[in-house]
A and B are shown apart, each in its own frame.
Chain A
Amino acid sequence: MRVLVPVKRVLDYNVKPRVKADGSGVDLANVKMSMNPFDEIAVEEAIRLKEKGVVTEIVAVSVGEAKCQETLRTALAMGADRAILVQTDDRVEPLGVAKLLAKIVAEEAPELVILGKQAIDDDNNQTGQMLAGLLGWGQGTFASAVEIADGHAKVTREVDGGLETDDLKLPAIVTTDLRLNEPRYASLPNIMKAKSKPMATKTPADYGVDVAPRLTVTNVVEPPRRSAGVKVADVDELVTKLKALGVAK
């Protein structure tokens, strides 16, 4: 079976975001960009399913500017088989991404789409659930374990109270949580090999999807800063402070 893995290019998780002074957003000029960490976990999960013989082909998809090619090459170097770039310089929201993915699903007929649970730039946590809704498929979100057998996916999910397991009919959507796996690094030979793997470039218009944003970002500011605190010298002083706060008697 075929698996589709959408990957987003985002500000690297190690970089501290800087808010632009004019309130227009976060400064992305000359900073390190990487694959969204949850998407690395998604690619890894697809590769493991392929290594188990459950999956036969992994198609990575990214929506965004031309530089998303780099993100797709990373997915290919990890072990994806081919890639599709839906190229646009415009901001595309989760609803637009989900609509594009729904069209690609119609063309590629995967039995599983594995997405990240959340892109760490906009922190939306929407795209997988939206895609499932558009397709009328089951959804296993925030997955910490995935088992595929007999046309079903058993997905263990990280929920507020602990863990929950749902049984989904395939085809289905899975979104990854942190504990699903630990993504591999691409080896140098695989990075070389990835250069010759196929990558198709499309546009939203090719799919006939209107991706015009529904939300306008009118202002972006830094959150209020906490003022500097004090250091206490020892436990006794800390106990005094805790008493003053009223949390200790």
Chain B
Amino acid sequence: MKTLVWVEHDGKAVKDATLSAVTAAAKLGEVHLLVAGQGVDGVAAEAAVIAGVGKVHVADDAAYAHGLAENVAPLVAGLMATHDAFVAPATTTAKNIAPRVAALLDVMQVSDILSVEGADSFTRPIYAGNAIATVKTSDKKLVLTVRTTAFDKASPTGGTGSVEKVASTGDAGLSSFAGAEIAKLERPELTSAKVIVSGGRALQSSENFKTLIEPLADKLGAAVGASRAAVDAGYVPNDYQVGQTGKIVAPEVYIAIGISGAIQHLAGMKDSKTIIAINKDEDAPIFQVADIGLVGDLYKIVPELTDKL
């Protein structure tokens, strides 16, 4: 089987999520990559040395600069004439594009796969990860998104892929990019961090996130996450949300502070290696998944903890 893997990048470098998708695709067959963007020769060169990669298709055009699904989906659908599976990491960019590709190919996408059980069979989480379904597809072409925490990262080096330019399918004229507010990261990215410190509603303000959560995260070299309640209340931006409908993370250590542990939150972090919970309610559901729990007032515990580290 010949796969086409979506390379997630920021115009300059390949994002880690790509490496997990490569691992998933390699279980199906030959791995080819697609780099779509503008001025992406550097990204293509980086992609070509990912271990196990065959061909790297590069579509360089202004129409692809912002990954607009309306422009990218026809490009992918065209390339699928000579590939059997489109495999993309479940990033917001790819979740936007892949179903549109599936519709153009008249196939049913399999979202968020956790494992490859065979050439047509996959497991995936449903009901916020409270159940794992095995699904078998009857479609001739596959469109898959990959839960990146479920697959090891392919080695970013050691490969000897060849780079090949592909013709642009142009601007569909349906949409245009009008701007972005992309947070500047002073800390590790949530989805690739080894340690995450997350705060919930109990933090009460963005001020408290800054004075309590961030210093602790800095001591641990950790990324900062949050529950939906904390995001909705405006304590932190939307891209901090961990959960069923936010980011899926699986760090070595996840520290949940003042988070109750609703199933929607657990869905995003319960595959973390070690979970630590700090909560004043000893019956909070978060303690049912926590490996290490400390019952008490975060306003006392967190400063003391930061101090003693």
Contact = CB atoms under 8 A, between A and B. Distances in A.
Nearest to B289: A226
A221 B117 CA distance: 15
A118 B245 CA distance: 8
A138 B147 CA distance: 26
A215 B102 CA distance: 13
B292 A129 contact: no
Interface in A181-231: 213-223, 226, 228-231
Chain A interface size, as a band, is: 35 or more
Contact of B263 (A16, A117, A245): A16
Interface string B181-197: 11100000001001100
Nearest to B125: A123
Interface stretch (A43-51, A73-81, A105-113, A161-169): A161-169
Interface in B286-300: 287-295
B138 A232 contact: no
A118 B219 CA distance: 36
A89 interface: no
Contact of B239 (A19, A158, A231): A158
Contacts of B107: 95, 214
B100 A133 contact: yes
Interface string B83-96: 00000000111011
A179 interface: yes
Given A130-B100, A137-B174, A247-B253, A19 B130 contact: yes
Interface of B: 10, 66, 68-70, 73, 91-93, 95-104, 106-112, 121, 125-139, 172-183, 191, 194-195, 219-220, 228, 231-232, 237-239, 244-245, 247, 252-253, 263-264, 270, 274-276, 282, 287-295, 301, 304-305, 308-309
Given A132-B70, A139-B175, A220-B131, 13 more contacts: A120-B128, A121-B126, A133-B100, A133-B102, A167-B176, A178-B245, A218-B136, A220-B126, A229-B292, A230-B292, A235-B304, A239-B305, A247-B194
28 contacts: A25-B131, A120-B128, A123-B125, A131-B103, A132-B100, A133-B73, A133-B102, A139-B175, A141-B96, A168-B175, A169-B173, A177-B238, A177-B245, A178-B232, A179-B232, A215-B135, A216-B138, A218-B134, A219-B133, A223-B131, A230-B292, A231-B294, A231-B295, A235-B305, A236-B308, A239-B309, A241-B276, A247-B220
